[in-house]
Amino acid sequence: MHWYSSYPRRRALQLTADAVALVVVVLSIVAAVTVADAIRALAAFGRDLEQAGASFAENLAAAGEQLGGVPLVGEGIRAPLDAAAGAGGAVADAGRSQQELVESLATTVGWVIVVAPLLVLALVWALPRIRFARRSALVRRMLAAGLTADTLAARALAQQPLRRLARVHPDPAAAWRAADARVVRALAELELRRAGVLASALP
């Protein structure tokens, strides 16, 4: 399959488009990683909160355990300390939840930053290039099988913009019907150029 035109100017444009597409992909990946890392940095607050809450709960639980052994008043002292330790555990849980939320956000935003440009590339670069390659391959196969300039000229009349047809002849359809060999070949060459095939491929 021919991915590039046989005409130097269009081939240069296609190569330039390829280079731009590659740069867009690389920049998208770099931007996604950079932004995701920046978002993940926000998880530091959650980690600090988790550590502080866990440490607070552990210390209060240890203190409650020690004071719980004091005769007469031990149980009375231990109950509020255990309750405060539970609050510290809740703080630690909140810190873990914040970290999970930040990680989820970083992953989602990272994928969006990568996928959005790739979807645009698929629409404005990949699909047109695939259509070009398929058209070029089909025209080359048909030429090898005996396709004539007359058929290509008819397709050019149906597909080419009016401004290009007007450069060939003021009334190209009439000239085609009259079998004007010069006009027929010029129209066929328009269609060959669209397919990236040199005019010399015509018999």
26-77 residue pLDDT tens? 999 999 999 999 998 888 887 877 787 677 666 656 655 565 555 555 455 5
- pLDDT, one tens digit per residue, over 2-18 is 899 999 999 999 999 99
The maximal CA–CA distance of the chain, rounded, in angstroms, is 119
Q: What does the alpha-carbon distance between residue 145 and residue 175 come to, in Å, rounded to a whole number? A: 26
Q: What is the reported pLDDT for 63? A: 55
pLDDT of 80 > 80? The answer is no
* pLDDT reported for residue 61: 61
The pLDDT assigned to 173 comes to 93
What span, in angstroms and rounded, lies between the C-alpha atoms of 25 and 187? 38
Instruction: Determine the 3-state secondary structure of 34 from DSSP.
Output: helix
Cα–chain-centroid distance for residue 66?
A: 60
> pLDDT tens, 119-159?
999 999 999 999 999 999 999 999 999 999 999 999 999 99
User: How does residue 172 score in pLDDT terms, banded at 50, 70 and 90?
Assistant: very high
Q: Are 160 and 142 in contact (CB under 8 A)?
A: no
How high is the pLDDT of residue 66? 60
pLDDT at 81 over 90: no
Averaged pLDDT for residues 165-193: 93
